Amino acid sequence: MYTCLLYDVQHGVATITLNRPDVFNAFNDPQSYELQDALKQATEDTAVRVVVLTGAGRAFCSGQDLKAAQESPDKFSFHETLQKRYNPIIRAMRTMPKPIIGRLNGVAAGAGCSLALACDALIASTDASMIEVFINIGLVPDSGSSYFLPRIVGSLKAFELCTLGSKVTAEEALRLGLVNQVVAPGELDAAVAALAARYAAAPTKAIGLTKLMLNKSGAASLDEMLDFEADCQQMAGESADYQEGVAAFSEKRKPAFRGE
């Protein structure tokens, strides 16, 4: 049982909802550890084919709960806090062999922005916004923002967003390539459900391998990626979903992938 988030699995979709709406789903210690556990649970559950990550109420996640940090009996250093609480979350998201859809219902600030950027796909409400707010309290980007942001928007724009703490609207986020889709608030659930259903019926092993390849490509040479592609293609070619895909093509029918 979780105290700071909701976890629900239906039709192959695990929905993880940060559930501290009174503080815009800001992270306290329990929420960070519970999210680590929920991501592990979704990774290990073979019935889960796709994860949806979102926030309760009007926000996605406003980052660290500064008041909770000041009142916490565990006085970790910044370094310890990141290594114990936030970095395991980002690593779990990027290594999960399943797609993660971010349902961006409201503001994603600080570590909450990093959390959104670590998703594999993002669908945003027009009410949503993203902000690298660290600079406004004299800190630097963390939880992966310094890795993800320049790779998405380029180094010049990343420097601007990180050093000015500028709020990015949903429409601007779409233009910059930070999100995949922007919809009206009343259409958000349907848009997320449609994409989640598509991934839940997809060849999960091939998607996981594709995610692994794209993660590696940022720091690999062409020769390394050619070799890695060959390795991953061999693994995909040995999957039951590949056999089903070929059979469905031959029989002129829609494939029924099982994620195996």
Q: Is 176 helix (H, G, I), strand (E, B) or coil?
A: helix
CATH number of 204-250: 1.10.12.10
User: In terms of Cα–Cα distance, which of 209, 2, 14, 230 is closest to 103?
Assistant: 14
pLDDT of residue 74: 67
pLDDT of residue 11: 96
pLDDT of residue 68: 72
pLDDT of residue 94: 97
User: In terms of Cα–Cα distance, which of 203, 201, 228, 204 is closest to 214?
Assistant: 228
pTM of the model: 0.95
DSSP assignment letter at 27: B
Could you list the pLDDT tens digit for every one of the 260 residues in the chain? 899 999 999 999 999 999 999 999 999 999 999 999 999 999 999 999 999 999 999 999 999 988 876 666 667 788 998 999 999 999 999 999 999 999 999 999 999 999 999 999 999 999 999 999 999 999 999 999 999 999 999 999 999 999 999 999 999 999 999 999 999 999 999 999 999 999 999 999 999 999 999 999 989 999 999 999 999 999 999 999 999 999 999 999 999 999 99
CATH number of 5-200: 3.90.226.10
Kindly state the helix (H) or strand (E) to which residue 61 belongs, with its residue range. strand 59-61
pLDDT of residue 77: 86
* Domain residue ranges of the chain, discontinuous segments joined by +: 5-200, 204-250
pLDDT of residue 71: 66
Kindly state the helix (H) or strand (E) to which residue 130 belongs, with its residue range. strand 129-131
User: In terms of Cα–Cα distance, which of 110, 125, 94 is closest to 161?
Assistant: 110
